Amino acid sequence: MTPAPVLMGVVNVTPDSFSDGGRHLDPQAAIEHGLGLVDEGASMLDIGGESTRPGASPVDEADELARVLPVIRGLRARTDAILSIDTMKPAVAHAALSEGASVWNDVTALGPAPESLEVAARHSGATLILMHMQGTPATMQDAPAYRNVTQDVAGFFTARFVALRRAGITLDRVVIDPGIGFGKTTAHNLALLRNLPMLAALGRPVLVGASRKGFITRVDGTGAGPDGRLGGSIAVALHAARAGAAMLRVHDVAATRQALQLMAALESEGADA
> CA Rg, the chain, in Å?
18
Residues 11 and 71 sit within 8 Å (Cβ to Cβ): yes
The number of helices, as runs of H, and strands, as runs of E, in the chain is 10, 8
Distance of CA 74 to the CA centre of its chain: 21
Instruction: For residue 110, give the CATH number of its domain.
Output: 3.20.20.20
Neighbouring C-alpha atoms within 13 Å toward the C-beta of 100? 20
pLDDT-derived band at 5 (thresholds 50, 70, 90) equals very high
Q: Is residue 190 part of a domain?
A: yes
In whole angstroms, give the CA distance from residue 142 to residue 8.
29
Q: Is residue 97 part of a domain?
A: yes
Q: Is residue 1 part of a domain?
A: no
Residues 182 and 134 sit within 8 Å (Cβ to Cβ): yes
In whole angstroms, give the CA distance from residue 74 to residue 229.
30
Q: Is residue 272 part of a domain?
A: no
Q: How many structural domains is the chain composed of?
A: 1
In whole angstroms, give the CA distance from residue 48 to residue 64.
8
Give per-residue pLDDT as tens, 87-135: 999 999 999 999 999 999 999 999 988 899 999 999 999 999 999 999 8
* Catalytic annotation present for 89: no
Which residue among 53, 173, 249, 257 is the active-site one?
A: 249
* Catalytic annotation present for 166: no
Is the overall model pTM greater than 0.75, yes or no? yes
Q: Which domain holds residue 185?
A: 6-267
pLDDT-derived band at 58 (thresholds 50, 70, 90) equals confident
Which residue among 204, 213, 229, 257 is the active-site one?
A: 213
Q: Is residue 69 part of a domain?
A: yes
